[in-house]
Amino acid sequence: MKNKTAYLTIDDSPTSGFRDKMTYLNKKNIPAVFFCIGQLMEQRPNEIIECIQKGFIIANHSYTHPAFSKISLEQAKNEIEKTDEIIESLYQKAKVKRPAKWFRFPYGDKGDLKNGEVFSLWKRGNKKRKNYIQKVLKDLGYTQPAFANVTYNFMRKANLFEDIDWSWTFDVMEWSINQKKPTQGIKDLESVITRLSKQRPSDCRGFLGFEKRWLASPSAEVILLHDHEATNQSFNTIIDHLLDLNLSFEDLPT
């Protein structure tokens, strides 16, 4: 009997390590969605087509990866639309029907001037800006699954499943490796792995409350990992450790 359900989401693709990553996931039979950056997809179109044909899902992570609170609404619309068109054309070239339109904001910044503190309940943010961008996504047919088996209160309280953009429940935080100022002491692969096997690891994105999290919780998880060149060498090891935790990686609910 598996511990609990997990959905794998990978941001910032495609980099030079993209093909190796999808090949490894394919070998391990792990479904995943790659939230891709438009301008990077233009550099590696064939790899994206291959990824689509392998059964992974390609989703929208903007064109240039800006913080949406720092750009105009017109730019925000353009970032989303331009990348949507690229994905559409790559699905056509792959001769695969696009299963869903999904979007995740760079840095978790919904453009509402909350500085990406997505889990913060007390920061109200700029509703007008947020609603405008949500409507751009809605009009293009973007959705976020309801994730009925994700039972975290902090997700429900912050209405994160009511938004059209994608959120996550567990950040692997491997992006913190090699940073000048590592977040919460996550400075190398070892500290990432140690944190993975903790019952209740701390997070770093705003308010999370006292709810039992990660292995201490029966909730399904939307896991956030990245396709970064700095951590190409660590990717397979992280995946192996996630598998050791007896998580059941399931298809993304389209």
Does 106 engage in binding with Zn ion (CB under 5 A)? Answer: yes
Does 203 engage in binding with Zn ion (CB under 5 A)? Answer: no
Does 12 engage in binding with Zn ion (CB under 5 A)? Answer: yes
d(CA 33, CA 31): 7
Does 165 engage in binding with Zn ion (CB under 5 A)? Answer: no
Which one-letter amino acid corresponds to residue 52?
I
E strand segments, the chain: 4-13, 32-36, 57-60, 170-171, 221-226, 247-249
Does 11 engage in binding with Zn ion (CB under 5 A)? Answer: yes
Closest separation between CB of residue 199 and Zn ion, Å?
A: 28
Of 12 and 171, the one with the shorter C-beta distance to Zn ion is 12
Q: Select the span of 77-85, 106-114, 116-124, 207-215 touching Zn ion (CB under 5 A).
A: 106-114
Closest separation between CB of residue 35 and Zn ion, Å?
A: 7
d(CA 89, CA 150): 32
d(CA 238, CA 244): 10
Q: Binders of Zn ion among 211-250, rule CB under 5 A?
A: none
Closest separation between CB of residue 10 and Zn ion, Å?
A: 10
Q: Select the span of 6-14, 79-87, 119-127, 181-189 touching Zn ion (CB under 5 A).
A: 6-14
Contacts of 228 by beta carbon, 8 Å cutoff, 6+ apart:
12, 15, 17, 174, 175
Residue written as tokens 């940073």?
179
The footprint of Zn ion (CB under 5 A) covers 11-12, 106
